[in-house]
């Protein structure tokens, strides 16, 4: 149950921040930290780092497959940390999928000068992937499906 709350919370937070970006940063970006960080509005019609721009249908299909697979993994995994990492990825993926379906593009707005513009969904996805990678490297992935002892 808690993992569905995490998924919904990440989705809602992502959508709220994107709505604020659309309202306040379209014509007037905000520079913070001496210009190292900016809040701006970008329509991303590709994937991460705007790769494969214009492949909307591809990203929608891949996102749906990934979301369904990770929801299955949440259900099957016995490790709370694995479930948490899957939940972050799913919540972020749903946020970007929603944008692609409803708007035809993903709203990005966080601009750190050394990396491409991104959004909170990307942040959650990246955090979930990093945690998952760490867990697999540390534990060898064996906690993914181990059955709990009665």
Instruction: List residues with catalytic annotation.
Output: 108, 122
d(CA 39, CA 11): 19
Instruction: Collect all residues with Cβ–Cβ distance below 8 Å to 39 and sequence separation of at least 6.
Output: 21, 24, 25, 29, 30, 32, 109, 110, 111
Which residue, among 128, 118, 18, has the nearest Cα to 66 in the 3D structure?
128
Q: Within a 13 Å sphere around the CA of 13, how many CA atoms are in the beta-carbon half?
A: 15
């Amino acid at each position: 149950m808690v993992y569905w709350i995490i998924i919904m919370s990440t989705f809602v937070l992502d959508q709220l921040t994107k709505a604020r970006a659309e309202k306040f940063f379209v014509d007037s970006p905000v520079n913070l930290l001496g210009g190292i960080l900016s809040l701006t509005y970008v329509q991303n019609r590709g994937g991460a780092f705007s790769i494969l721009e214009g492949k909307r249908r591809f990203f929608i299909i891949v996102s749906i497959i990934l979301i369904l697979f990770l929801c299955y993994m949440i259900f099957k995994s016995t490790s709370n940390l694995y479930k948490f990492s899957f939940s972050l990825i799913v919540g972020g993926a749903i946020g970007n999928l929603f944008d692609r379906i409803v708007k035809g593009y993903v709203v990005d707005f966080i601009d750190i000068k050394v990396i491409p513009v991104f959004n909170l969904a990307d942040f959650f996805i990246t955090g979930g992937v990093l945690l998952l990678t760490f867990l697999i490297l540390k534990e060898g992935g064996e906690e993914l499906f181990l059955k709990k002892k009665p």
